[in-house]
Amino acid sequence: MVFKAQLFALTGVQPHRQKVMLKGAALKDETWDNFKPKVKNGATLLLMGSRDEDHLKAPDPAQKTKFIEDMDESELQTAMKMPAGLTNLGNTCYMNATVQCLKSVPEFREALVKYEGSSGSGGFDDGGLNHAMTSAMRDLYRSMEKQATVHPFLLLNTLHTAFPAFAQRGEQGGYQQQDANECWVQLLEMIRRQLKTTAAASNSENNGTSAGATASAGRSVVDQYFGLEFDTEIKCVEAPEEASTKGVEKVLQYNCYIDKEVKYLASGLKNYMNQPLTKRSPTLDRDAEYTKTSKVSRLPGYLTIQMMRFQFKMKDAINAKILKDIKFPMMLDTFELCTKELQDKLVPMRTKFKDHEDRIVEDCGKLKAKGGREAALKKSREDAEGEGVELEPYDFQDDPGSNNSGYYELQAILTHKGRSSNSGHYVGWVKHKADTWIECNDDDVRPVHVDDVMKLSGGGDWHTAYLLIYGPRKLPKQTAPVPVTATSEPTESAEKMETS
């Protein structure tokens, strides 16, 4: 549509009247797929369509056509419907990136926007500060829906009031850089205490079920959509006869531990499942080696993964960064991380996903669609993102906000550039649509391709993934045979993404 708008500026032919042809193929309004194999440098396109009377005059040659690369912030904002940028108020990129990534969770954002109560601290006790933080985030998100650039003064002041450590200043008098994950944890913890869900706001109502909605009323929205639960067991390695200790842990992040053997995200996640530790043994009456095993017993709708890239060095008194390249996938399957009980509960929805994909592949073969299986599946996932598409519930009926398949899709990344968590620069990267992502670098907001996002895995001083936010993979409801049309040949990057 941006391209057709540029043609309109040149010719006066309204986009809805344009028929753009190339070697017999007509350009669609929503995709370039059928053009990709044919578009090459120097290609000649045919435009057919009648101009409005107001545009019969030849375009003013002094007025140049603006392409995306030449648009200013407000023009790009309008053309791409991009999110608002946030002004850096002095080493506050850690907070800005956190806000942008959290905003990518629609249920969290909508619950915040609906939060009632006037702005302000309401006192400096814990309850007053929790309200102040929640209302400050609410007001910021509301402002971001109306403006291209927002100055987050209120949120920053509230953060400094609640956590004076974030207000520390350097030798030059400016604010010191802070750890984005610490900001993430503190913001969510305060909002968790204040922001409660209601039966009307639960995901079950939005995706076609109602069971469990009433039971979830009054529960924290943060726990509902971000809360992980682990079944744990601690056993003494040196005294096998000693009784093990079993328990349940509730957290908001899954930690990916990085060692010299870890090259992929899946390996780091498995490291969390078996951790060595040292503690006092009542049987041996001394410190002994123990092993702590963990299995996921509750998957949240939105899975936050922290890449454990920082280690505190006593000598330099800094959190030194592990720069190692750790590959992460666009599509994440967490089935192997779960308890046997949870795996059994995940099977029905996973079967629906498999049946859906089998139908697509079968129809793709009948139509002899170009691009093959992977291209057809990729297009199906993109279609599920469209407006008005009826989707299967992604959560369990008795646990709104959970994940009922174990399948996730990457939707936001918070990156760090530098050698220490208390220096360098933080940036948020948020999925926009299909292969388009948005780089939220404070008030500089611009579109990027998914290929650029997959390069954020580390290995040098470039932006490196620090927090990964995976959302639930969506499945369209099967009410009729799945329509599959011929698609273009997949790009090399798409093949790599599917392989991951």
Q: Give the residue numbers marked as catalytic.
A: 93, 425
CA dist 473 to 212, 333, 394, 446, Å?
A: 21, 10, 8, 25
Q: For residue 464, what are its two tokens? A: 């490196």
| Alpha carbon 88 to its chain's center | 22
- The residues that bridge with 447 in the sheet, in sequence order, are 438
List the alpha helices (DSSP H) in 368-477: 372-384, 450-453
Residue 128, classified by CB atoms within 10 Å of its CB into exposed (0-12), middle (13-18) or buried (19+), is middle
Is 15:1 a contact under the CB 8 Å cutoff? yes
| Nearest-angstrom CA–CA distance, 236 and 247 | 15
| Nearest-angstrom CA–CA distance, 9 and 15 | 10
| Nearest-angstrom CA–CA distance, 166 and 184 | 12
| Nearest-angstrom CA–CA distance, 371 and 383 | 16
| Nearest-angstrom CA–CA distance, 466 and 456 | 9
Measured at the CA of 430, the angle between CA 428 and CA 431, to 5 degrees, comes to 160
Residue where the block lists tokens 């993109």: 382
| Nearest-angstrom CA–CA distance, 87 and 139 | 15
Is 6:458 a contact under the CB 8 Å cutoff? no
Q: For residue 47, what are its two tokens? A: 């435009």
